[in-house]
Amino acid sequence: MSLPVLEDENDPRDWEIRAWVTLVRVYGRVERRLAKALGAYGLSVAQFDVLATLLHGEGITQQELSERLLVTKGNVVGLVDRVSAAGWIERRPDPDDRRVNRLYLTDAGRALLRKALPGQHASLKSALRPLLEAELKQIHTLLKRVDDALPDTE
């Protein structure tokens, strides 16, 4: 989870650290809630991410999926194995390049998403309820700036 949590007003640590500690804490706690809700559908967070990524871009390759999910292509193999074994996605060989698999949602996968997505959205809205829309935008804008500035040495 990273870095200790303590919140006294005289905390001498830099604001980078305080912001990061809080972010990590929120990430962990919210992620856990989302994961628990997904568990009811037999989905892990990583597996849900696969489905949700495909929802917005069917036909991507495993390579592309690994870039979106920020995991190695080796790990994507196992992930895709598990999700396709469950019948939610399928690999289809690319007709033009026989090295490539392209990934598609099955009807079952689409149906599962239709069931699982509303709950995820609701959990998220509930967790972030203390923030006004302008504040959500603010967080998005600031963190997007950080994301864009991170070199993609990964």
Residues that bind a copy of itself (CB under 8 A): 1-7, 14-20, 22-32, 34, 45-46, 48-49, 52-53, 55-57, 68-70, 120-121, 124-125, 127-131, 133, 135-140, 142-150, 154
CA distance 42 to 38: 7
105 contacts 89 by C-beta, under 8 angstroms: yes
> Which of a copy of itself, DNA, none interacts with 84 (beta carbon under 5 to 8 A by kind)?
none
Q: Are 123 and 34 in contact (CB under 8 A)?
A: yes
Closest Cα to residue 71, out of 91, 45, 36? 45
Q: Is 45 in the site for DNA (CB under 7 A)?
A: yes
Would you give the DSSP letter of residue 57?
S
| Residue selected from 56, 98, 125, 145 as contacting DNA according to rule CB under 7 A | 98
CB of 61 or CB of 120, closer to DNA = 61
Do the Cβ atoms of 73 and 64 come closer than 8 Å? no
Question: Exactly one of 78, 118, 121, 140 binds DNA (CB under 7 A); which one?
Answer: 78
Binding-site member from 6, 10, 16, 99 for DNA (CB under 7 A): 99
Q: Considering only the stretches 17-25, 32-40, 127-135, 141-149, report the one whose residues sit in contact with DNA under the rule CB under 7 A.
A: 32-40
- Name the H helices within the chain: 15-39, 45-55, 62-69, 73-85, 107-127, 133-149
Query: Is 106 among the residues that bind DNA (CB under 7 A)?
Result: no
